[in-house]
A and B are shown apart, each in its own frame.
Chain A
Amino acid sequence: MTLLALDALTVHRGPCPVVDGVSLTIGEGELVGLIGPNGAGKTTLMRAALGLLPHRGESSLARLAPRERARSAAWMPQMREIAWPVSVERLVTLGRLPHLGARRATDADRAAVARALDWMDLAAFAARPATELSGGEQARVLIARALAQEAPLLMADEPVAGLDPAHQIATMTLFRRLAEAGKGALVSLHDLGLAARHCTRLVLLHQGRLVAEGPPESVLTEGNLRDVFGVRGWFGATEHGPVFQPLDLAG
């Protein structure tokens, strides 16, 4: 089943298009990595896909009513905001808002929150004020919040930036496992090594246009790396799985 379908999505900031005619579909079972250099339009693409920005073209999510959309896709913005010193558990419970309506939290809600806390290795922090945690821990709390929403599609803007290696790997592995269990995810990443290793598919943006998509090895080609990122890299299918390492600047 298709979880997100974009058709010629275009976003203008002033006269120039920041996202330019991007068409893309994401289905169940996919962990799609959205990659591209700074300013390529990754964040704008995801926000417009959710209907948070005025856009042209079609997005299946933007067409939905707000409540319905919140049940279809969870969104973790790049800006990690936690305005008040609420407890970690209560913050993660905010992810249940689209399911709650006027009624109080049910056992299902509490179970979803407990599961998300456990996945993100946060059970020990549940009662702590979220604002007192370190930056990386706060990021994990916000990922847990998005996971507690239990939407079929997870969209996250650089979710693993600032996490330690163990939690980066754990988070990407978890996303992959959720995808294998029937969910879908669109995740923007700057770490091409993680992208190559964990994503089922990569989407490469450059100056607002989709320039390549497909399995990691078909996107992280010598030509794309040189033309889009201005680097050279090494990609190998090793006995430890796919490995990608950027090497140096392209001459």
Chain B
Amino acid sequence: MSARALAFALGLLVAALFAASLLVGPAGLPPRAALAALVTGEGGPLALVMQEIRLPRAILGAAVGASLGLAGAAMQGYLRNPLAEPGIVGISASAALGAVLAIHTGLAAAFALGLPLAALAGAGLSVALLTLLAGPRGSTLTLILAGIAIGALATAVTSLVLNLSPNPWAANEIVFWMMGSLADRSFTHVALALPFMIAGWAMLAATARGLDALTLGEDAAEALGIRLTRLRLTLVGGTAAAVGAATAVAGAIGFVGLVVPHLLRALVGAQPGRLLWASALGGAAMVLAADVAVRLILPERDLKLGVLMALVGAPLFLHLIWRTRREFA
């Protein structure tokens, strides 16, 4: 498939799912009137639901998915490993820890942005620690090991917070938040997360050339004029901004960053630089689709987005492993 055809197909898919996300929900609004209300802002409660509930949810779905897909593709390209994902450097776990601490200390209840801000702080702190540990001239391996250690530490502290939680409701809230969801998000969340995500996308997009060169290994890439130290900083910074912001507003959503680049790799001729934009679109489509699905499958039970994603993602991933296993047998 040519690049243009693929971009068109993925763009169309995202647009369709974005529209579906706007039109599917418990309120059961008539589509035509709902869209009219969205655009004009007239129609009282209908316009309110569309503009204040459905639209921010759809925007966040697309943005969170794009962030996860893009960061996943960049991480796989940098590590030259199809099993890498943004979570491997510990950023999502650290962002989750920030959020959990905010819930635990009551910061989240005190004001609306307490939780996402704490999550962003967690992501920022983990990146600072990561660059400190992996050093300016650290190798790829140091980065992975440092990331795994930071992720494990963040997960352990999260467990400790749950362990010492004074009452079951607080623990419950934490557990539910960690499952990941886009329900009941507002434009306040969009305004907080989107600038970070856009900055992250810009940084990750700038790695395309370096990731292409890394196909030939670190030595050859450096001799082709790529500054590897700068590439690594851009990658880690971009991932932290995009995935940290995504986790801050949507909780922990796994598998998107792992599966989406996998699904699209063959369609872009395996070139890591071109996989970036394709995975951003693919990730947006996947999260939008899953967010529509949670509203359709169990509308009354508040099925969590992260749970559905893992339920669909894991078998999909097993299938991919099965296929690669046969390829390399």
Contact = CB atoms under 8 A, between A and B. Distances in A.
B234 to A, nearest CB: 15
A66 B222 contact: yes
A142 interface: yes
**Interface range, B side:** 20 to 34
B213 A94 contact: yes
Interface stretch (A83-91, A196-204, A217-225): A83-91
Contacts of A100: 209
B271 A76 contact: no
Interface string B201-238: 00000000100111111011011111100000000000
A82 B269 contact: no
A50 B221 CA distance: 12
B215 A76 contact: no
Contact of B271 (A74, A75, A84): A84
Contact of B223 (A50, A85, A86, A142): A50
A95 B213 CA distance: 9
B185 interface: no
A169 interface: no
Contacts of B225: 66-67, 69-71, 97-98
B268 to A, nearest CB: 10
Interface of A: 47, 50, 52, 66-67, 69-71, 73-77, 79, 81-87, 90-91, 94-95, 97-98, 100, 129, 142, 145, 149
A77 B217 contact: yes
Contact of B216 (A66, A82, A85, A98): A82
A97 B213 contact: yes
B270 interface: yes
A94 B215 CA distance: 9
28 contacts: A50-B223, A66-B222, A66-B225, A69-B225, A70-B223, A73-B223, A75-B219, A75-B220, A77-B217, A77-B220, A79-B217, A81-B215, A81-B216, A82-B215, A83-B216, A84-B80, A84-B270, A86-B269, A87-B269, A91-B215, A91-B216, A95-B224, A97-B209, A97-B212, A97-B224, A97-B225, A100-B209, A129-B270
Contacts of B227: 66
* Most chain A C-beta atoms within 10 Å of own C-beta, residue among B80, B222, B272: B222
Contact of A86 (B209, B220, B271): B271
A230 to B, nearest CB: 30
Nearest to A71: B225
